[in-house]
Amino acid sequence: MCGRYASYKQDRLRPIEEALDHHLYIDPLPARYNIAPSQPVIIVRPAAAGGFEAALATWGLVPGWSKEPKVGYSTINARAESVAKSPAFRSAYRHRRCLVPADGFYEWQVVPGQKLKQPYFVHMADDAPFAFAGLWERWEREDKVLESCTILTTGANPLMATIHTRMPVILAPEDYRNWMQGDADGAAALLKPYPAGKMAAYRVSARVNSPRNDDEQCVAPLPETKAG
Task: Answer yes or no: is 34 within a domain.
Answer: yes
Are the CB atoms for 83 and 89 separated by under 8 Å? Answer: yes
Instruction: Tell me if 80 is assigned to some domain.
Output: yes
pLDDT on residue 226: 47
Instruction: Check which CATH number belongs to the domain holding 67 and give it.
Output: 3.90.1680.10
pLDDT tens digit sequence for 158-212: 999 999 999 999 999 999 999 999 999 999 999 999 999 999 999 999 999 999 9
User: Which of the following is catalytic: 17, 68, 107, 149?
Assistant: 107
Choosing from 2, 98, 149, 218, the catalytic residue is 2
In a domain, 228, yes or no: no
The domain of 65 spans 5-108+127-199
Query: How many separate domains does the chain show?
Result: 1
Pairing label, strands 130-141, 97-102: antiparallel
- Is 224 noted as a catalytic residue in this protein? no
> Could you report the per-residue pLDDT of 30-51, keeping only the tens digit for each?
899 999 999 999 999 999 989 9
C-alpha closest to that of 136 among 219, 48, 214: 48
219 in any annotated domain: no
17 part of a folded domain: yes
Q: How many Å apart are CA 122 and CA 109, to the nearest integer?
A: 12
pLDDT, averaged across the chain? 94
Q: Within a domain: residue 180?
A: yes
Reported as a single tens digit per residue, the pLDDT across 89-98 is 999 999 999 9
Is residue 24 included in any domain, yes or no? yes
- Asked if 174 is an active-site residue, the reply is no
Alpha helices in the chain (DSSP H): 14-20, 90-95, 158-161, 176-181, 184-188
Q: Does residue 152 lie within any of the structural domains?
A: yes
